[in-house]
Each structure stands twice: as structure tokens, then as C-alpha cells.
Structure 1
Amino acid sequence: MAYWFHRNPLKATAPVSFKLYGVVTSGEGGKLCNELRTSRARLLDLLTDMTCTVETMKNAAELYTSLLQGFISALDDDTKENKLRYIQKFKWTDTLLGNEDRTQQDALFELVSMAFNVALWYTKFASRLAGKEDISSDDAKEVHTCLKVAAGIFKSIKEEHASRLLGTPEKGTDLDPRVLEVYIVQSQAEAQEDKELSTLEPRYSTKWRKYLQLKNCFYMAYAYSFNGQNLLASDKCGEAIRSLQEAEKMHSQADAFCGEYRHTKGPGNNVKPSEHIFFRKLGTNVKITLEKCQRENGFIYFHKVPPDPPVLELKANYGLVQPIDFELPALHVLWTKKNYAAFDISLKPAAEGKDKEKDKKKEEDAKVKPMKEPDLKPQKDTGCSIS
């Protein structure tokens, strides 16, 4: 299976204590805040843990989100809006805009930002799994599922949640509908991602776009290669040669984009795509098959090689893979009406005055540090050759 390597960096965030001084008036309310703090910290740790499984990530994300729902869902019969939604500040960076953080005092901003990171994790996990030397059928199915899950989360953020934030998302940020659309389509398919990305600010998106361009050339090389093999099997040797010549040309173009990708500055892994096994093996396979066709044409077929490459049937009749619908988990059982009532926001001004200096220092100390992600290295070649 083709191992794809470009993944934009995870969003970074400042720690959140959920210590609502004076507002929490019961022990159960304090317990809820502690659960929020610890489940958030654990989820963030899992995002960069190479041993984390899909099941572990799913459970951790659902736990934190179900607890966070108590700051978002309406729990009071007298009002449709949660009184706690705007009580806590959250800081997050964007995947394309470096380490510049954005702060919103909105629990919904926290929800969509964390969900975005979880979706990114699914794409990174799929990429690591697809990069194994001996990928099994079950692995391939899990890769496929992970990408559909990621697409579903990105789609839900774009269509259901981002529009509910107080402010309009700034251009180029992760909540910009164009950025979300690229993430959705990249998770769905391999040759249709570039249209939205081309409208974004070049200094932020050029590296990502180079990756998508080289991938498009690479898949075209694959398509012409397989087409050439099928034509040869049908004794259409001249057409097979022309198809394989086009495959060789597209592979060379992909190789050129690999060089441009490596030397383009921007967010994403610092890798050498042309050194990956799948890339080198395709080039070797195209060369060997083309030489075989040319030999057989000289001894057996004597077919004329057409001047133009064959027209490929590129329009699939089964459509684009559909995202798996993403649904928010149910509200955590700790959020009873009694516990919700234990948060008295009318006490917040007095509490802020009492702890003003402490809160100011905490705000200054809450710096956003980049997420430390492990580098993904190309797999070593097994030494096998195609004959």
C-alpha cells in the first residue's frame, strides 16, 4: 500500500486548569473540574504517543468530550444556553500558521479544536500503519476506516459546529471552511484535494500543495503502469508501450515535485518522499515492464507505438468514499442538574477580584508549546526485486 507522508503538525494548546475560583460551590463540582483537567491532559499526551491504539484514542476523546459537554449543552430548563460556556479561556494554534496562538473564551472553541486534533491523529495513525513493510488485509481495512473517521470529524466541524462560534474564522486558520474542505477531501480521496488549497495564502499552503501535486503525478504514473500491463495481457503491445512511456514520464514529474517539496518551507514533516520504498519500486516496475514490452514488440508483435497516450477511464462509477458520520458523545453522567447548579457564575466577579494577581500570573505562564511529534522515517528496502 502506498505510504503517504505529509501530515500537517498537530495543533498546540496551553494547559487548562479548570480551577473556577469561587464559582464551584460543592465537592461534586470540584470533582467535575478535576476530571476535565486530567482527561484533557491525558488526551493531549495520547496524541503524540506512538503506542496509542484506535480504541484507546476513541475512549479518551469520548471521555473528555462528554465532560466538556457540561460547559456547552443546555442543562437548565429555563434557558437554551449553558451558563458555563464562556467562563473559561482556551488557547490553540493552527496547523498552517506556525506557533501563533489564538484565544477564545468559549468552550465550543475548545471542543472543535480538540476534535480537529483527534481527526489529525486518525490521519497520522493511518499513515504510520500504511507504512508498514508487511501490511495485512486487516491493517488495510483499519487504514481505510481511520481516514473515513477523520473525514467525518472534519465534516462535522465544518457543517455543524464552526458556524456556532461567536466570531467568523480568520482566513487560513483551521476553522476556515476552505482549510476544513481540504482536510475532508484529502481524507476521502487521493486526486481531488488541490482545488480549495490553491485559494489559500501561498506562504502557508505551498508545501502542502506541492505534496498534493506530486501525489497526483504519482497516482497517474500508477494508473498508466497498470493500464500498460493490462494492454500487454490483451496483446496490444504498441499501446502498452505508449502507456508505460507515459507512466515513466509521470513518475519523473512526481520525482521533480519531490525535490520541490523537500526544499519548500512550511508546516509538515521534513521528509524525502522519493526515498520511500513505494516510490522507488514503482519507478523500477515501470522501467522493467516497459523494457519487457519493447523486447516482445521487437520479436513478436511488431506493433506501431501510438503518438498519444491512451485515454484512461478516470471517472469511477462507485463514487467518492463517504465519511463516517461523527456524533458527539452523550453528556457525562456526573453532569446532573444538581451538580450543574453547584456552579454559581454570579460569584465569578468577586472571585476574580480576590485572585486577580494569581490569575494574571497564571495567564502569563500559560504558554503554548509546540506538540512534540515523532519523526516518521522511510521503511528500509527489503532487498526484493521485480523480475
Structure 2
Amino acid sequence: MLDRREVSNSWFELLNMLYNIGLWYMKHAAALCLKESVSEDQAKEVHMCLRQAAGIFNYIEREKSKCSQDFEPGSDFDSDVLQAYSSQCLAEAQEVVVVRAIELKHKPAVTFSVSLDTARRFSESAERLKAKDMTKFGKWYLYLMLKNELYLAYAFTFFSDSLLAEDRCGEAIRTVREAHSKLDKAIALSVEYKKAKGASSAPVKIDEHHFVQRLRPILKRMTDKCNHENGIIYHQKVPMELPDFELKPLFGIAEAVDFVLPSKSALWTAEAYAGFDISKAQMPDFSVRSGQICVCT
């Protein structure tokens, strides 16, 4: 039987391995997205990888109490850090949905709804880091905030399209102006992000990235369309306040894939465990050089 310390150490090692798997899923998804052309199968793989990563981080959060040690604030096992990762993964999974909704020309209300929830999830992730040491978490926090502003810009762009279809042109103009404001904030945050210290694989020139370049022509088209239609047909006043909108998403919401620890293999018998005797291990003396020299000619 293992004692309490050994059980704790075993869980600590297991959860650390799972942490690395979760991070690998995130990095793999990011690598696929960097390609010039992402196929439908690759987009599905990105979506699944990020949902699996979120499930792993949720699992670590649930099971970390089996480790006897206390975890420092801001460490890998800090609940805020784990939940920030989980929310970020789901937000990035929904980025795939937003792109698909735009490419397949779904109803503007659908694209608005998914974009708004994607922005919410980036904001939720950022809130988890808001009280952390910004010398360590600042770059990550800025990335999440600029993504929040960017997807609010997406959301308001497509919301204005929905309003225009309902002959609410004045409100559509107010909403498209808000989209411009959010995009400007995202670009401003990207400047701060570039200056911030810290490791990150996110693109430095955010304003040149594909998710900004994709939005700009759509936003310009909606702006021109709203102003043109209001000048010729509607002649509606532009309100000071944004129109009310439904916060509940309609479709395309990403959910974490629950991680389930695999059952123990039947090969792990008492005899198999007994075969692992560290006292019989012959470790090399790393302080002594082997003496073998490779001569390159």
C-alpha cells in the first residue's frame, strides 16, 4: 500500500503530465492555424484539440486536491490560471466557428451571437488574470483583452447587419460605429502587447493578422451600406446609446470534452510492480566521461 505522501506525489506527477498534454493540444492547434490555407478537416482538428485541452485543464482543477502540497498563487496549479486556460481554449475553439459562419454566409444573427460569446469567453479568461502579477501575466492578459475587443468588433459588425435587415438603420449606424471603436481598441492593445515582456507565440503585428484583415472589408462594407441606405431611404436619427441585444448565444457554442483517466491495464499485476526495484538499477556515473571521441573527417 502506498502511503499518503506517495499517493500525493503520484497525483502530482500525473497532473503535471496532463498539463503538458493540454498545452500540447493548444500549441498543435495554433500550429495548424498558422498555415496559409486551413482545410475543413484541419479546422475540425483545431476545434477538437482546443475542446480536449479545456477538458484536461478542468480535470486538473477538480483533482489537484489529491496533492497534499499547497500551490502558490500564480503557479501552474492556481485555480485562476487553470480556469484562464480552459476559457481561452473554448474561446479559441469558437474562433473556428466564427470563421465558418462567415465563410458559409450564415445569418448575421448567428455570426453576431457566436462572436459575442467568443468575446465573453476571452474576457472571462482575462478576468482570471486581472489580479495577478502583471510582470509575469501582463502579456497573456493583454492578448486576451485584445481578442475580447476584436470579437466585440466582429459581433457589432454583424449585429448592424441584422438591424439593417429589420429597417432599423439609425441603430445599425450606431452599432457599426461601436464596431469601429472596438477594432481601434484591439489595435491599441496590440501596441501595448508588443511592448509587454513575457513569452508568447501570439503574433506581434496583430493589425496585420488574418483575423483583423478578414474583418476590415466586412466592416467597411457594412459602414458604407448603412450610411448609404440611411441617406437615401430611411433618414433615421442615430441614437446615442447602443440598441439592446440578446446575450444568450444561439448556436456554435464550444463545450469542453471531459477528460476521463484510462482504466489500469491488466498487465499491471502485483508481480509487475514488484519487478520495479530501484535498488537493482545500475545508473551510469555521469561525472565520468565515456572516453569515446568522434573524429569528423
- TM-score interval, smaller chain: 0.7 to 0.9
Verify: 1:181 aligned to 2:115, yes or no. no
Report the 3-state secondary structure (helix = DSSP H, G, I; strand = E; otherwise coil) of the residue aligned with 1:335.
coil
Report the 3-state secondary structure (helix = DSSP H, G, I; strand = E; otherwise coil) of the residue aligned with 1:148.
helix
1:281: how far off? 2.6
Counterparts of 1:210 and 1:128 in 2: how far apart (Å)? 21
Contact 2:190-2:204 at 8 Å conserved across structures: no
Structure 1 unaligned residues grouped into runs of 5+: 1-78, 87-104, 363-387
Residue number in structure 1 paired with 2:197: 265
Verify: 1:304 aligned to 2:207, yes or no. no
Pairing 1:185-334 to 2, within 5 Å after superposition = 185-189=87-91, 190=118, 191=120, 192-269=124-201, 271-316=204-249, 321-334=254-267
Superimposed CA distance per residue, residues 180-216 of structure 1 (whole angstroms, 9 cap, x where no aligned partner): 1111121223322122111222111111110111111
Residue number in structure 2 paired with 1:171: 73
Report the 3-state secondary structure (helix = DSSP H, G, I; strand = E; otherwise coil) of the residue aligned with 2:214.
helix
1:321: how far off? 3.8
Report the 3-state secondary structure (helix = DSSP H, G, I; strand = E; otherwise coil) of the residue aligned with 1:126.
helix
Contact 1:248-1:287 at 8 Å conserved across structures: no
Counterparts of 1:317 and 1:285 in 2: how far apart (Å)? 22
Structure 2 unaligned residues grouped into runs of 5+: 92-117, 289-297
Matched pairs, number? 257
1:301: how far off? 1.9
Contact 1:158-1:180 at 8 Å conserved across structures: yes
Residue number in structure 2 paired with 1:153: 56
Report the 3-state secondary structure (helix = DSSP H, G, I; strand = E; otherwise coil) of the residue aligned with 1:193.
helix
Counterparts of 1:298 and 1:318 in 2: how far apart (Å)? 34
Which residue type is aligned with residue 136 of structure 2? Y
Which residue type is aligned with residue 178 of structure 1? D
Report the 3-state secondary structure (helix = DSSP H, G, I; strand = E; otherwise coil) of the residue aligned with 1:167.
coil
What is the TM-score normalised by the length of structure 1?
0.60
Superimposed CA distance per residue, residues 296-342 of structure 1 (whole angstroms, 9 cap, x where no aligned partner): 22122212111222223223367964321112223345432212112
What is the TM-score normalised by the length of structure 2?
0.76
Q: Which has the higher contact order (CA 8 A, sep 6+)?
A: 1
1:133: how far off? 4.5
Contact 2:146-2:185 at 8 Å conserved across structures: yes
Q: Which of these residues, 101, 111, 134, is aligned with residue 14 of structure 2?
A: 111
Contact 1:179-1:197 at 8 Å conserved across structures: yes
Structure 1 residue ranges (4+ consecutive) displaced by more than 6 angstroms after TM superposition: 317-320
Counterparts of 2:58 and 2:37 in 1: how far apart (Å)? 32
Which residue type is aligned with residue 211 of structure 1? Y
- Residues 260 and 294 of structure 1: CA distance in aligned 2, closer, same or farther (over 3 Å): same
Counterparts of 1:158 and 1:295 in 2: how far apart (Å)? 52
Contact 1:221-1:248 at 8 Å conserved across structures: yes
Which residue type is aligned with residue 280 of structure 1? Q
Which has the larger helix fraction? 2
